Amino acid sequence: MAVKKLRYLLLFSIIYSCGTQVELLDAIKDEVDSVNIIPSSVNAISDELYTDPKNSKFIIEYGNVDTVSDPQILDSLFEVLKNEKKVLLELADKQLYLDLLSKYNSDTTYLANIYMKTPTDGVPYSYAYDVKKNDLIFFSVENLGNQKVEEVSIVEGSTYRYVKQEFPGKSNEKGVIKILDDNSLTLNIDNDNFFKNKGFFNSKLKIQLKKISPLKINYEVVTDSILETASVIETVYDTIYKANFKESLKLPPSLDITQRNEIVIPVDIEQSENQLVGWGYWIGLNKFNSILWNTDDDNDLVKIARQELFGIDEELLLQDSENDNILLRINDLSLDTRTLNYSYNYAFYKGDTQINKSGRRAELILKNMSNIYEYKIQVGMISVFLKKRQVEVDKDIFVTKEFIKLTLNDDE
């Protein structure tokens, strides 16, 4: 009778233990599922999981983390590179590229930080993560309990990269795996055992996984055009107007044997290094004819010259003048081009710089046909020059320059 009661008590203990373990397993699964992958900041390279110094091979492939001279500039530059995926640097700023490689040589992601009880139903726990070629996986697996764990393994694709069987209690395993290809990485915890499946001799595990991915910052020298403000030497031309006006040239009658009744007014252009661009004249043959002449710099001939050469004034016509007793003849010696705004007594010519000419461009010949009347003639003349000079000015110009183009390739 005592033996039978003992058997019932043992059976009841086993059933109760299994029920308790199932509830604990569900709670652990909920806790594990709630753990997120926490990406670290870019410069959080310090290794909380694996505190042993990195070997020389790691430093060669991933660079060494040094203190740079301009951290704020580098931080801003790297933010632009992350957002825009590319950035242009001056050739003189190549050191910034080298410092980028030194400071931001890798990107760290925490894949797992799991506290769990080992399985009790014979079904292993598995956790899968996406990894890429050349990623480094730092792992730490710690058995916190006294009982051994049947097997803990890390599999890349279908290849075992780490496996630990009969994992003893109160022990810790750490290591680094370099990923061979773009793949899936699977963490497996298997504790399949007859007694353990019944809820006996279980253990607790603390598992941490950290991924360090090398950054791909491509470097190339490119040519681009940019808008710059630069001081340049430009050739500018000052317009010089030379005008004169004679109000009372006498033209004697033909019967006056003491004077000639014909005068010749030469149109002579002063020879200089300045470029002649135009010249003109106006002749008044009567007292009532007039031309506005405030000064030699401000008069109707200057306005006509501006109008005919540059079109900057309103349309202006000089006053016509004719006298039946005066014969006017123009002897053009210049072969310059007369503008369309001309009349019997006035004209303006545009200078032809392609033909070498003498200083005399024309002759104005006036003859008094009256036998008894003397006339006073008005004559205005103008010549226009361009004077060349060099000036320094600030100007926006497109400049073709060579730059360093940095490209961040996230997909490699």
Per-residue pLDDT tens over the stretch 193-222: 766 666 677 778 899 999 888 777 888 888
**Residue 22's domain is classified under what CATH number?**
2.60.120.680
154 and 58, same structural domain?
yes
pLDDT of res. 313: 66
338 and 210, same structural domain?
no
- 406 vs 357, higher pLDDT: 406
Q: What confidence category does residue 133 fall into, taking pLDDT thresholds of 50, 70 and 90?
A: confident
Please write the tens of the pLDDT for every residue from 178-199: 899 999 999 998 877 766 666 6
310 and 196, same structural domain?
no
DSSP 183: E
Average pLDDT over every residue of 90-101: 81
Unique residue bearing structure tokens 């103008």: 382
DSSP 53: P
285 and 137, same structural domain?
no
Tokens at residue 318, please?
């000089």
142 and 202, same structural domain?
yes
Tokens at residue 242, please?
């030379």
In a domain, 76, yes or no: no
199 and 60, same structural domain?
yes
In a domain, 192, yes or no: yes
pLDDT over 70 (residue 293):
yes
Distance CA(91)–CA(105), nearest Å, equals: 21
In a domain, 406, yes or no: no
365 and 263, same structural domain?
yes
Q: Which of 184, 173, 157, 179 is nearest to 207 (CA)?
A: 173
Count of positions (residues) in the chain: 412
263 and 355, same structural domain?
yes
Q: Which of 328, 317, 304 is nearest to 377 (CA)?
A: 328
Tokens at residue 223, please?
């040519």
Distance CA(346)–CA(282), nearest Å, equals: 4
249 and 166, same structural domain?
no
Please write the tens of the pLDDT for every residue from 343-367: 999 999 998 877 767 788 999 999 9
pLDDT of res. 298: 93
Domain enclosing residue 113, as ranges: 14-65+105-215
Q: Sign of torsion, CA 141 142 145 147?
A: positive
DSSP-H helix ranges across 115-267: 194-197
303 and 373, same structural domain?
yes
Unique residue bearing structure tokens 């004719």: 322
379 and 278, same structural domain?
yes
| HSE value, Cβ hemisphere, 13 Å, CA-based, for 287 | 2
pLDDT over 60 (residue 312):
yes
Distance CA(87)–CA(78), nearest Å, equals: 9
pLDDT of res. 410: 64
211 and 301, same structural domain?
no
Q: What is the DSSP string of 344-409?
A: SSEEEEE--TTS---SEEEEEEEEE--SS--EEEEEEEEEEEEEEEEEEEEEEEEEEEEEEEEEE-
- Tell me the angle at which helices 71-84 and 94-103 cross, rounded to the nearest 10 degrees: 80
pLDDT of res. 198: 62
Give the torsion through C-alpha atoms of 61, 62, 64, 66, to 10 deg.
Answer: 150
- 38 vs 245, higher pLDDT: 245
Tokens at residue 29, please?
């699964």
- Provide the number of structural domains found in the chain: 2
DSSP-H helix ranges across 211-331: 300-310
pTM for the whole thing? 0.47
Rg of the chain over Cα atoms, rounded to whole angstroms, equals: 51
Q: What does pLDDT average to over the chain?
A: 79
Which range has highest mean pLDDT (12-16, 223-227, 364-368)? 364-368
Please write the tens of the pLDDT for every residue from 368-394: 999 999 999 999 999 999 998 899 888
pLDDT over 60 (residue 9):
no
pLDDT over 80 (residue 335):
yes
Give Cα separations from 240 to 167, 296, 317 (angstroms).
102, 12, 22
